[in-house]
Amino acid sequence: MTDVRLAGIGMTSARTRDRLVQRLREQGIINPSVLERIRNVPRHIFVDEALGSRAYEDTALPIGFGQTISQPYIVARMTEALLEAGEVSNVLEVGTGCGYQTAVLAPLVARVNTIERIAPLSTRARQRLKELGIRNVRFRHGDGSLGWKTHAPFDGILVAAAPLTVPEALIKQLRVGGRLLVPIGQEGKQELVRFTRRDQRVERESLGAVAFVPLLGGVA
């Protein structure tokens, strides 16, 4: 991928990215590392070329197969919420999608294990991250609601689609002290929740209303 494509021109330029970062600051994102990743990751390469001029709007955009690239604020909010308690090494991402969230998160942690149920999306995301030189990501085509037991326990789990209730497998694959970020609920009534696993209990904290595609089982 050429340097010109990565850097962007016009509506995908550095100035446009700076405006997006300023909007996120105004919405309460304060982690400087997260903001820098939002600025530096070329979101326009994760969407169809026809949508490139909208890549740095703070909105979700279609990526095919009934899926969307998440709103930059949501990506920043989930990443910041995962990192708030300190160093995070081993992370599970459920719902790779186009790979944008993966690209934002990966340089901030030691390892990302990411699962996508739709094979062409997983293949496309793998190629994009390779082009960006991101090497600490392990990909899997599979059912993310089951987690990835062979690489558990995880310090953090990010879920990029909304189940009606939290998959029990994901809670079980958190280490003690680990955090699960997941949108929960039916369409129009979803909230982003952070679960923290303790020795004898799981703490629950609501982080506000959100809108995600539903979490589906199986593979496609």
Task: Quote the DSSP letter at residue 153.
Answer: -
Report which of 33, 166, 159, 189 is spatially closest to residue 97, judged by C-alpha positions. Answer: 159
CA distance 174 to 181: 11
Q: Are 186 and 207 in contact (CB under 8 A)?
A: no
Q: Which residues pair with 202 in a beta bridge?
A: 197
Look up 70 and say whether it is catalytic.
Answer: yes
CA distance 36 to 29: 11
In the set 70, 89, 122, 206, the catalytic residue is: 70
Report which of 40, 43, 60, 62 is spatially closest to residue 52, judged by C-alpha positions. Answer: 43
**Residues catalogued as catalytic:** 70
